[in-house]
Every structure is written in structure tokens, then in C-alpha cells.
Amino acid sequence: MRVTLRAALWTFGLVLAALLVSSCGIGGLSPIFPTPVSPNGKDIYDTYIGISVPAIIIFIGVEASLLWVVIKYRRSRLPAGYVPPQIHGNNRLEIAWTIAPLIVVLSIVVYSFAELQKDFQPVSASNYTIVVSGHQFGWNYTYPEGFTIHSEGTLAGDVTPFVVPTHRLIRLEFQGTDVIHSWWVPAISGKTDAVPGYDNFSWLKIDTVGKWRGECAELCGVGHATMQIIVQSMDEAAFNSWVYQQRAAQNTAGSPSPS
Amino acid sequence: MAATHVLPRPKAYDDTFWKPITLWLTTTDHKLIGIMYMVTGVLSFVIGGIFALVIRLQLSQPNLKVVDPETYNQLISAHGVTMIFFFVTIFLTGIANYMVPIMIGARDMAFPRVNLLGFWLVPVSIILYYSGFFTGGALNAGWTGYAPLTEKAYQSHSLGVDFWAMSIIVWAISGIMASTNFLTTIVALRAPGMKLTRLPLFVWAQISTSILLLVVGAPLAAAMILVEFDRQLGTQFFTTQGRPVLYQHLFWFFGHPEVYIMILPGFGMISEIIPVFARKPIFGYMSMVAALFGIVFLSMTVWAHHMFTVGMNTYVEGFFMLMTMLIAVPTGIKFFNWIATAWWGSIEFTVPMKFVFGFLATFLIGGITGVYLASVPVDTQLHQSYYVVAHLHYVLFGGSVFTIFAGIYYWFPKITGRLLNRTLGEWNFWTLFIGFNGTFLIMHTLGLEGMPRRIATYTNEAWAATNLIITMSSFLIAFSVLLFLINVVRSWNGGEIAGDDPWQANTLEWATTSPPPPYNFERVPPVRSFMPLRDLRESGELEAETQPTPVPTHA
């Protein structure tokens, strides 16, 4: 009675685990990343799903064999006097489970490397570069039109949005002025560190109008949690009038703080 | 032959914990030093756990102010440093210090006084680190202490970083001493017949661990010395004007192998415990040893996978991705060999065996999420998020801590002469298993939804429910650890007497009394395979072996 109860506990726990893991893998109940709006984010999303296929198969296979061992080979369930076969190994089997995982991980490497070459090279096709500069505790966005948006950190969740035009390939150049920060908006793409001493690059291209949230992802001091990010996309006309307003405002007020 | 003759128990080494303090302070006995290492480790586990509970309280709901952000940053740093440097590594050094000489049939470590010094550097290191709290604030840059946040320009108010750097330097020296000692002991002091191919796999794991710590301990100390130069002598190695990423390279060249330093001894314990309770020899002894060394080599070539977002050349990133993924292969070999060892076995689910299967079930998840993290594009999303926190706890808690519990339940009878209470042990296991998975399984989704790690609080209401479940589960873990501590204290005082070999085990430590005498063996038993005790039991020599021999024969 006790034994079956425990077997039930195991089954319950492992099935639950399998459900949870597979649900966050496939993107059913729990989300994977937020639905990406930029092509590079979309490719990362696809890579994640691609890795999930072998990952879920291996997960279920191994947990099932563990469960099988637990249920089938417990002493209390075996006939009295059962003497286990004294096997010291099996070369064929051992080679098999060396080669098989090797093939799986090598294919994941090739698959991931292709995506890496596709989306993580410096983009040259863009003529629109925005400089994103991190400092304790906030972000500055310098536009090619010559004005800078200062987005100082706050916990209220109402930081100044970083406005981008839709349908345009935008190159992002990351700079750090004090400690290391990391710019991350999961709905757009992966994170890029803003490191003092050299420039980092990323890019985005958003085709829908909307707002997405992100945060600084590298511990940077007491205000780390306040370095929130809001990215807002506008269609071309709205963006142009927004740019016009910003330039007018900064020309009258002067440059607030050079950074 | 007087069949009724019983060995007198040595007086200073009885099975009580309370021995004269002067004995504890001056002993060079590897067993007593091992116990001190382990007790230090468990105390650190409790302290680090209390830090974790405060962290979880702070995060249980959005916008909480249980502690202010500065204190919070100090707590997450202290939690990491305590658990990694002062709990897992120290505890595992302790259990190896106790078991390795006995398992190879030696009387003590090769350098008993180096062992003594190496151990006493550990409390020095711990006290140095916590001194930071009394000098304006301890380390507040995470356990990794990334520059330039640790530099004077951003830290001028306190000496916490200096105390951390000093502490880690002392810790590294202590670790190098212990590693040298282990390697010398295993090479030079093996019993007659104990060929390298007959070493217990736990000893092989300790060889691998010692090689790793020997290689990577020095670069860690070097990184800390450079941090100190920057802070106190005005150099510019890692400052905003210098090269902050160089620090990350030095740190992770230590930091990643450290992960394996914390898990390989656990792998060794699993390889010891499964054969005993499944009544089958380990499956693929040689491939287990080969896999250990594969891991040792590969683990030193993967460090930059912690740095995929700093902006490296994509081919360099590709190299580190490849090497990281390759580690899945030797780890997979070990995993499949363990399952194959249990397959067709006659498994007795004692408490240690339960922890072994708890380890196998959870460590697998940590291994699989590790493959996601190794993929550079995917890592740019997952890096520095709660997904990573979940992953690292699956390998360090589901991995190292579960193996440590398995090891404690397995070897406690040998160390104290008494068995841990089984009912409390079952409760300990099930509450830990459920509490652990409740805490860390759903933490993956927080990371996927965009919650960065190390934020002192958050405003996003969507994360509130998940965080609350995590906090409640973390208190279940605390309850479980409390049960464990009660069990240890109660059983040490009045637990069931274990006898020499309560588990019908395979290796030499069970051939001597529990606890073993200061010299470990009256006469070292003959070693004819990697399961010497089982050979004796099966050939019927065991009874004769445990009897005192009037004239010790030196083989």
C-alpha cells in the first residue's frame, strides 16, 4: 500500500514536471518569450522551439526510464531471492549513448550557429543608427537627427519611452559610461550589454505600432531595478512629427546634459 | 582464535560529537578535520538559506520594501558567496577529506599538517567575508562581483569589496592546499592492491575535482589581487577606463570549472550509492572515469558562455557554444550508465537512494536547460534572467545539494556510528523534493516573461502570483532543512547503532569500525577489484577480517 502510494507520488510529480516543462517549451499555457515583433527576436524564438523538440523527447525518455526503474526494480516488488545480473558494462551500448547525444548537440550547435551568423553580425544595410547609452540609472537615446531622449530610471513603470519608427531597419549602438548595463526588451530581441570602453551593436525592425517593456539585465547598483525600458513604435508620419517636436523642444531648451 | 573478542573502542574517538576543544583545534586526523569541514559547510548552508528566505520575502509581491535595495544587493551577493564558496565546496571537501583516505586504505592524508592549515584558512576566509557587513556594507555586486561596479568609483562608501577579495584569496589558497593534498594522497598512499583501475569512483571524482581546483584556483586569486590593485593602488585593470570584460574572463575561467568542482564529487557519490542499493556493480566503470576527465577538460574551455551578450566575435561565441554543448556528452554517458546500473537491479529505496533518484530526476532538467543556455541566440534572451536562476539552482540544488544529502544519509552511520532516523529522512526527502521543484520549476517562466535576476523589486503585476508560489515553496525547503538538522542532532545523540556495514556496501570505508579508529584500519583488507568489501563478503573472508589479528601481517 505504502509502495503504491509512493509510486503514485512519483508519477504525479514527474507528470506535473513534464507538463510544466513541455508547456513552457511549446508555448501553450505558459509563455515562451513574449511574441517577438522584430525579425531577430522571431529567429531566436524559432531557435528556442527547434531546440525544444529534442529537449522534450530526451526529457520524457529519460524521466520515463527513471520511473520505470523506480517502479519495476524496487526490491519489495521483486520475487524473493532475485539476484540481479552482475553486468559490468556493454561497449556497444556505451558507444551508442556517446554517439547519439553527440549527434544531437552537434546539430543544435550547427542550427544555432546559422542563426548566430544571420542575426548577430553588425548590420550594414541600415542608415539609421540610434546610440543607446546606459548610465546609473537610466538610458539615453541619441537619434541621428541630433537630439537625445533622456530616460531616467523609475520604479513607477512610466519611464520616458524610446520611440522608434515602424518598417525601418534600425541599428542600435550601445555605450556604457560608468558600469556595465544590459539593454533587454524580450518582445523585441535578446539583450546586449552596454560596456564602458567599446561599442556594442544590435538591431531591430518593428512593423506594428505598439509599446513593449524591458529592463536593465545586468546588476548595476542600487537603482538596477529602476532602469526600466519602454519601447514605443510609431508609423512614419507620427514619428516624423514626434521628431520635429523633439528637435524644437531641444533647440529651445538647449542640450540638457551632454553624456 | 577468540571469537568473542571485541576490539576496544579508542577513547578519544568515541561516537559522541563533544570532544575536548583542544583536540578539535589541534587535530591532524583527516576524519576530525573532515567533520569540521562538513559542520562548517552545514552552518554556511543555514546562513545562506536565511539570506535566501529574506530575498524571497522581498520578491513575494511587487513593490515590497522588506529590505532596501542596497541591503538586497548585499544579501544576494552573500547568498551566492556563502552557498558556493562556504557551503557546497567546503562540505564536499570535508566529505572527501573524511572518506578518500579510508576508501583507498590509507591511514591519513599525505600532508596532515597542510590539511590542518588548509582547513583553518576556511573560517578565516568566512570571517573576512562577513566582516564586510560591519564596515559599511558587504559586497553588493553579486557573487560574481563584476567590475567596474566593484571599483572604488562606485563603492567608496564601504570596504565590503576588499573583504570579499581578501576572503576569496584566502579561500583559493586553502583550496589549492586541499587539492594538492588529495592528489598526493591518492597517488602515493593507496593500499596494496588498490590499483588506479580499482579506485572507487568517488575517489576518481575527487581526483578530477582536485585537478580542476588546482588549475583554476590561481587565476581566481589573480583576479581578486588585480581588483585590490585597482581599488587600493589606483591601477586601471578593470575600471571604466580599463577593460572590465577582462575581469569576466578571469572570473569565469575559475567560475565555470567551479560548477564542476561542486558537482563532480556528487557524481562520485551517486556512482558509489547506486551499486550498493541496486546490488549491481557500476555499469561501465572505465567510461565513467573517462567521462570525468572529459568533463575536466571541457569545463576549462567553456567559460565565455557566461559572456555571450558582451559583444564577442560570433566565431568565438560559436567556439564556446560548441564546447559547452559537448559537455552534455560525458554528462550524458554518466547519466545513462547510472540508469543502466539500476536497471535489472534489486533496488532498496533507503533514504540515500531516494535522494539519488531525486538528484537524477531534477539534475536532468538542469542539464537540458543548460543546452538552451548554451545556444548563443537563445542565451541572449535567457541570460541574466530568472531562467538562469532556475537553471543554476537545478544543477546546484537539484544537483549538488541532493547529492550532498544522499552522501550524508549514506555516510552518517560510518562517521557517527549511528543511523539517521528513517522516518524523518523520508519527510526530509519529500518536503525537499516538492519544495525544491515548487520553487525553481516555475521560476523558468518568470525569466521567459522578462524578469531579470538581481532586481530588488518589480512593478509588473503579471509576475506576482508566480513569485508568491515560489516564496511559499522556498519556506517548504526551509522546513525540510529544519527536519534534517533535527534528525542529525537527535540521531547523533541517540540514533540506532549502525554497526560496521549497515548497507552491505562495496568499498573499504565500511570494512572498518564505525566510527573508524584514528589509524583507520587494524589491518588493511586485501583489494582485488573496485569492490573490495563485496569480494570479501562473497568469499567468506569478511568474518576473519573484522577480528583482531594478534600479529598484524604486512602485505
> By C-alpha distance, which of A161, A183, A26 is closest to B384?
A183
B275: how many CB neighbours lie within 10 A of its CB? 26
pLDDT at A29: 39
- The interface pTM score, or ipTM, of the predicted complex is 0.89
Q: Grid coordinates in use for A182?
A: 544590459
Q: Which residue has the higher pLDDT, A30 or B432?
A: B432
Q: Which residues of A touch B457 (CB under 8 A)?
A: 155, 225
pLDDT-above-70 percentage for chain A = 85
Domains of chain A: 2-76+91-119 (no CATH), 129-253 (2.60.40.420)
Residue B7, domain member (yes or no):
no
Q: Strand A170-176 vs strand A200-204: parallel, antiparallel, or unpaired?
A: antiparallel
Range of the domain at B67: 27-546
User: For B261, what's the count of Cα atoms within 13 Å in the CB-facing half-sphere?
Assistant: 28
Distance from CA of A103 to the nearest CA of B (A): 10
pLDDT at B465: 87
pLDDT tens across B271-282, in order? 999 999 999 999
The whole-chain average pLDDT of chain A stands at: 86
A102 touches chain B (CB under 8 A): yes
Taking residues B140-158, report their average pLDDT: 90
Contact B148 A180 (CB under 8 A): yes
Distance from CA of B81 to the nearest CA of A (A): 16
A62 touches chain B (CB under 8 A): yes
Q: Smallest Cβ distance to A73: which of B73, B346, B361?
A: B346
Residue B553, domain member (yes or no):
no
Taking residues B7-29, report their average pLDDT: 68
CB B530 within 8 A of CB B197: yes
In degrees and rounded to multiples of 5, residue B51 shows phi and psi of -55, -45
Strand, helix or coil at A27?
A: coil
The whole-chain average pLDDT of chain B stands at: 91
Residue B16, domain member (yes or no):
no
Q: E strand or H helix at A58, and its extent?
A: helix A39-72
CB A203 within 8 A of CB A173: no
Q: Give the gyration radius of chain B's Cα atoms.
A: 24
Q: Grid coordinates in use for B275?
A: 551499486
Q: Is the pLDDT of residue A1 over 80?
A: no
B302: how many CB neighbours lie within 10 A of its CB? 24
Residues B293 and B484: their CA atoms lie apart, in Å, by 34
Q: Give the gyration radius of chain A's Cα atoms.
A: 26
Taking residues B33-59, report their average pLDDT: 96
pLDDT at B461: 86
A227 touches chain B (CB under 8 A): no
CATH number of the domain enclosing B482 = 1.20.210.10
Residues B361 and A84: their CA atoms lie apart, in Å, by 23
Residue B323, domain member (yes or no):
yes
Amino acid at B171: W
pLDDT tens across B188-246, in order? 999 999 999 999 999 999 999 999 999 999 999 999 999 999 999 999 999 989 899 99
Residues B91 and B38: their CA atoms lie apart, in Å, by 5
Residues A213 and A37: their CA atoms lie apart, in Å, by 12
User: Please, which pLDDT band fits residue A108 given cuts at 50, 70 and 90?
Assistant: very high
User: For B298, what's the count of Cα atoms within 13 Å in the CB-facing half-sphere?
Assistant: 21
8-state DSSP, B419: P
Q: Is the pLDDT of residue B332 over 70?
A: yes
In degrees and rounded to multiples of 5, residue B503 shows phi and psi of -105, 0
Taking residues A90-95, report their average pLDDT: 93
Taking residues B347-375, report their average pLDDT: 95
pLDDT tens across B64-92, in order? 999 999 999 999 999 999 999 999 999 99
A9 touches chain B (CB under 8 A): yes
User: Please, which pLDDT band fits residue B493 given cuts at 50, 70 and 90?
Assistant: confident
Q: Grid coordinates in use for B291?
A: 567521462
Q: Which residues of A touch B434 (CB under 8 A)?
A: 13
Number of domains in chain B: 1
Taking residues B471-485, report their average pLDDT: 95
Contact B332 A106 (CB under 8 A): no
Distance from CA of A194 to the nearest CA of B (A): 8
Q: Is the dihedral of CA B432, B435, B437, B439 positive or negative?
A: negative
Residue B398, domain member (yes or no):
yes
Q: Which residue has the higher pLDDT, A100 or B5?
A: A100
pLDDT at A251: 73
